[in-house]
Structure 1
Amino acid sequence: MSLRGSVPRTATGLVLGAVSAAVELAFLVLTALGTAYALVFSRGRRMMPRVTVAGARWLTGLERRRLAVFLGDRSAEEYGPLQALAYLVLRVPLGLLGGLLLVLLGYGLAVAVALPVLWLRGEAPEGIRPTPFMLAYLVVAGAVLLFLDLAGLVGVAELERRLMRRCLGPSPLEAYERRIAQLAVTRAEVIEAVDDERRRIERDLHDGVQQRLVALAMLIGRARRAGDADRAAELLRQAHEESQRAMDDLREVAWRVYPATLDEEGLRAALETVAERSAVPVEIDYSLAGRPPRAVETAAYFVVCEAVTNAAKHSGAGRVTVRVARRDTMIVVRIDDDGSGGADPSGGGLAGLARRVAALDGRLLVDSPPGGPTAITAELPCG
C-alpha cells in the first residue's frame, strides 16, 4: 500500500475513520432535526443551535487529529461552523466506504483461512472440493479481490486527505495571497541578510586585514628609516611575518564569504573543510548520492558553518555531529552538539540563516533547551 506512514498506522486511521463516520452520521441526522426545530420555533432568527456548532467543531477537530496522526495530513486551518458541517456531510460516505472495504478485507481473509481448514477436516461444502482447477480459481480470484480492496483503501485514504484540504484548507485565492505575502517578506529578509553579510565582511576587513596592513606599512617605514642594518633586517623580518598573518586573515575572510571548494568539489568536500578547521571534533554523515543545486549547497554549507562555529564559541560542546540526507524532495541538514544549549533562534547568526533558508522555501528548526543538547535542522527543497 503506497500510503504515507506505516501500513498498520494507516489501517488504524481508516478503522477509526469508519467508526467516526457512523458517529457523524448520527450527529448529522440529529443536526438536521435540531436545525429544523430551531428554524420553526425561533422564526428564522437562529439558523444553527449552539450545540450543533459546538458538535460540528468538536467532531471536525477529532478528524483533523486523526488525519494528522494516522494519515500524515496537517493542512487544515481555521474554519467556521458551516465549513465543519460541509466537511462532515462529505466525509461520512467516505468513512463508511472505508469501513465497508475493511469489512470485505476481513471477510476475505477469514474465508482464505477457513477454507483450507475445512478441506483438511473434510467438511467443505459440496461444489468447492479442493480440485486443481478450484484451487487455481480461488487463488487468482482472491488475489484480484485483495488487490482491488487494497487499492480502494489507498484511494479512500488519499480522498480523506484531499477532502480535508479542500473543505478546511485555504482557498486558491487565499493560498496565492499568502504566497505573495511570503515572497515579499522573504525578499525583504534576503536584502537584510545581504546587508548584514556586507557589514560583517567590512568588520572583518577593518578589524583584521586592515589592521595587519597598517602594522605592515609601519614596520616597512621604520625599516627604511633605520640607520642600523641589523635593526632594518629585524624590522623587515617582522614585516614579513606580519604580511603572512595578513594573508592568513585575508584567506579566512575569503573562505567565510564563499569557499572555492564548494564550487570546485561540492558540499561534502566543503563540509570536510569545516570539520578540519573546527576547534571541536566534527563528525560528518553525508548520504547524498549526487550534488544538489548550487543554491541548496550554499544554504546547507552556511547552516553547518554557522552551527559549528556557534557550538565551538558559545556552547562549550565537546563534539558536533553533522548529518546530510535526502528525505523525499527535501535535503535535510541536521547539526547536533553536546553543549550547554540555550541558542537563541532570533540571534543575528541563526536569524540570518533562517532568512537564507526561507528564501529557498525551506525552514530552519532550532531545538536548544538550557543545559543542552542543541539540534539545528534545515529542510531545503530539492526537487
Structure 2
Amino acid sequence: MTTATARSVAYLAAGILAGAAGFAWTVVALVTVALLSVTQLGGPVFLGAAWLTRRLATAERHRAGWVLGRPLDEPYEPTAPGTVRERVAAVARQPATWRDLAWLVASFPVGLVTGVAGTVLAIVPVATALAPAWLWAVPNGNAPWPLRPLLTTTPGRFAFAAIGLLVLPVAAWLVRALARGVASGARALLAPGAHLRLVNEAARLAETRARVVDAQAAELRRIERDLHDGAQARIVAAGMTLALAARKLRAGGPAVSDVDLARSQLDEALAELRRLVRGIHPPILTDRGLHAALAALAADSPLDVSLSGDPDARHPAAVESAAYFVVAEGLANAAKHAEASRCTIVLTPGRGTLTVRLTDDGKGGADLAGSGLDGLRRRVEALDGTLTLTSPPGGPTVLHAELPCAS
C-alpha cells in the first residue's frame, strides 16, 4: 500500500509538468500545422507533429501504468506506405490521433488541479506527523486558540503529530483514489477504443477463416488419400480375388482359399473405413458424449491415462469434436514422441467455456508449430477458442485448450 501511495503521489506530481508540456506542444503543433497546411510543407509537418504527439501520448500511457499496474496498450493502426497525402489521410482517419490531442489538452488543467491537490494531501499529513521535529523552530506566538497550545507546547506538538498519524491513512486513500481517477480518464482516451478492437477482430477473423479453409482442404486431401490408398485398394483387391474364385469355380477347381482371402480383404477394408470415419467424427461422440468418447480413447491408449470431468455433461457438437481431437493428438504425441508413461486429462466446464487440459510425464520439447498440433490449433481457433502448449525440456508437457460453448 505504501508503494501504491508513493506511485500515486509521483503520478499526480508529474502530471503538473506533463500536462503543461503536453498542452504547450498541442498549441504549437496546431498553430504550425494550420499555418503550413496551405503549403507543400503541410503534409510532412502534419506527419511529424502526429509522430511526436504519439510519442507524448505513449509516455502518458506508461505514466498511467504507475497507477494501473501496467502501461496502456497503443491504439494505433498500422499505416501502409504510400504518398504523403495518403499517409496524412490514413493518420487523420484514426480516432486515436484526435483522442491523443484531446488528452494532451485536458491533461493541463486536470494535471494542475490534481497535482497540487495530491501534493498537498501527501505533504500536509506527513509534516503534521513530524511536527515535534520541526514545529519548535517556527514562531507561532500569534496562532489563534485552539491551535496555540498545539503549536507552542511540547505536549501539544505531540498531540498534533498524533492527529497527523490518524489523518495519514485517509490522506493516502484520497491520493490513491485521485490518481486512479486521473489514470482512468487517461485510459478512456488513450487506450485502444472500439474502432481498433473491431479492426483487430476483423483481421483476426480473416486470418482464422483462411486457416480454416486451409485446414478443410488438407482434411479433404487426407480423406481422399486414405480412401484411395487404403479402403479402395483393399476393396479392389477383394474384387479381383472374387473374380479369380469365380473363374476357378466355372472351371471346376477349388476356390475356398480365394474366397477366404477375399473375405479377409473385405474385413480389412471395413476396418479401414471405420478408422476413417472415426478420424472424421467418432460416432461415440454423438451417441454417448465427450466423456465417454475420451474414456474409450484412454482405454485404447498404451499409456496409463486418468480422466476427470462430468460424465453426463454435453456440449455443442463442434466443441466436443474439437476437444476429442485435441486429446487424441495429445495422447498420440505423448505415446509416440514424448516417451511418456502416464497422462492426465481434465475437463473443466466454465461460464460459457469448456477447458481441456492434458498433462503427460514425458521428456517434453513439443512444438505447437508441428503439423498435427498446428492443425488442432486451427480447429480450435475456428471456434474462437485458444490452444496453448507448455513443454519445457525434461517435461512435463501441458496441452491446454479453452473452447467457447455459447450457442
Whether the TM-score (by the shorter chain) exceeds 0.5 is yes
Aligned to 2:201: 179
Q: Does 1:192 align with 2:189?
A: no
Aligned to 2:64: 60
Aligned to 2:17: 30
Q: Does 1:251 align with 2:271?
A: no
Aligned to 1:313: 336
1:260 to 283, 286, 292: 283
When residues 162 and 35 of structure 1 are mapped into structure 2, their CA distance, relative to the original with a 3 A threshold, is closer
> For the residues of structure 2 that align with 1:306 and 1:156, how far apart are their CA atoms?
52
Aligned to 2:258: 235
Letter in 2 for 1:193: A
Q: Are the equivalent residues in 2 in contact too, given 1:288–1:325 (CA < 8 A)?
A: no
> For the residues of structure 1 that align with 2:329 and 2:368, how far apart are their CA atoms?
12
> For the residues of structure 2 that align with 1:159 and 1:358, how far apart are their CA atoms?
37
Q: Does 1:346 align with 2:340?
A: no
Q: Are the equivalent residues in 1 in contact too, given 2:334–2:340 (CA < 8 A)?
A: yes
Count of residue pairs the alignment pairs up:
307
Letter in 2 for 1:203: R
Aligned to 2:304: 281
> For the residues of structure 2 that align with 1:261 and 1:251, how far apart are their CA atoms?
12
Bigger mean CA deviation after superposition, 310-319 or 75-84? 75-84
Where in structure 1 are there 5+ consecutive unaligned residues? 1-11, 69-74, 104-151
Aligned to 1:147: none
Q: Does 1:220 align with 2:224?
A: no
CA shift for structure 1 position 57: 5.2
Where in structure 2 are there 5+ consecutive unaligned residues? 33-47, 77-95, 126-173
Letter in 2 for 1:324: L
> For the residues of structure 2 that align with 1:212 and 1:338, how far apart are their CA atoms?
39
When residues 53 and 240 of structure 1 are mapped into structure 2, their CA distance, relative to the original with a 3 A threshold, is closer
Please provide the CA RMSD for this pair.
Answer: 4.4
Letter in 1 for 2:6: V
Q: Are the equivalent residues in 1 in contact too, given 2:11–2:66 (CA < 8 A)?
A: no
Query: What's the CA shift string for 1:149-181, capped at 9, x where partnerless?
Result: xxx9xx999989976753443221111122222
> For the residues of structure 2 that align with 1:324 and 1:156, how far apart are their CA atoms?
44
Name which one, 1 or 2, has greater alpha-carbon Rg.
2
Q: Are the equivalent residues in 1 in contact too, given 2:15–2:107 (CA < 8 A)?
A: no
CA shift for structure 1 position 347: 2.3
Aligned to 1:204: 226
When residues 16 and 167 of structure 1 are mapped into structure 2, their CA distance, relative to the original with a 3 A threshold, is farther
When residues 331 and 165 of structure 1 are mapped into structure 2, their CA distance, relative to the original with a 3 A threshold, is farther
Letter in 2 for 1:241: S
> For the residues of structure 1 that align with 2:217 and 2:26, how far apart are their CA atoms?
62
Q: Are the equivalent residues in 2 in contact too, given 1:306–1:349 (CA < 8 A)?
A: yes
Q: When the two structures are superposed, what TM-score results if normalisation uses the length of structure 1?
A: 0.65
CA shift for structure 1 position 311: 2.2
CA shift for structure 1 position 302: 1.9
Letter in 2 for 1:363: T
Q: Percent identity?
A: 37
> For the residues of structure 1 that align with 2:324 and 2:179, how far apart are their CA atoms?
38
Letter in 2 for 1:314: H
> For the residues of structure 2 that align with 1:211 and 1:30, how far apart are their CA atoms?
80
Bigger mean CA deviation after superposition, 247-256 or 361-370? 361-370
